[in-house]
Amino acid sequence: MELNSNQIAELLPHRYPFALVDRISDYEPGQWARGIKCVSVNELFFCGHFPQEHVMPGVLILEALAQVGAVAILSLPENRGKIALFGGIKQARFKRKVIPGDVMDMECVLTGHRGKVGIGTCTAAVRGEVVCSAELIFAVSEE
């Protein structure tokens, strides 16, 4: 199943400039999701990070991965209308810079949950090369 930016906005509360997923290419509700982020020189964060050499901030790469994972968990019927909040970040590793013109392919596999808390194993890649991997912990909350 594929979701465009308007359909993603129906699931996630994020709006410009924090809507960081352009498309969900496939997903299985409650299990996993894959998405893309087309990085443009027009991104607001490039005004200050860094003006002399544009580099996408690592925290925003993690946020984009978290949004992909949020699609997987919030697409479950019982979680519609709720939000997924960060509970923690483990084992985050950055392997290379993400720059304008890159297309980040992202995946988040939900590996476990207990009650409202869950864990996702996430990876972002550009042209098949891993740029970031992390284990993200989230909590599903009422809006």
Distance CA 44, CA 92 (A): 24
The reported pLDDT for the residue numbered 143 is 61
Distance CA 11, CA 15 (A): 11
| Positions in the chain short of pLDDT 70 | 143
Secondary structure (DSSP) of 118-133: EEEEEEEEETTEEEEE
Secondary structure (DSSP) of 76-124: SGGGTTEEEEEEEEEEEEE-S---TT-EEEEEEEEEEEETTEEEEEEEE
Q: Which residues are catalytic?
A: 49
The reported pLDDT for the residue numbered 43 is 95
Cα–Cα distances in angstroms (integers) from residue 81 to residues 75, 99, 110, in the given order: 9, 33, 19
Predicted structure pTM score: 0.96
The reported pLDDT for the residue numbered 114 is 86
Distance CA 25, CA 4 (A): 8
Residues in the chain: 143
The reported pLDDT for the residue numbered 107 is 98
Distance CA 55, CA 98 (A): 6
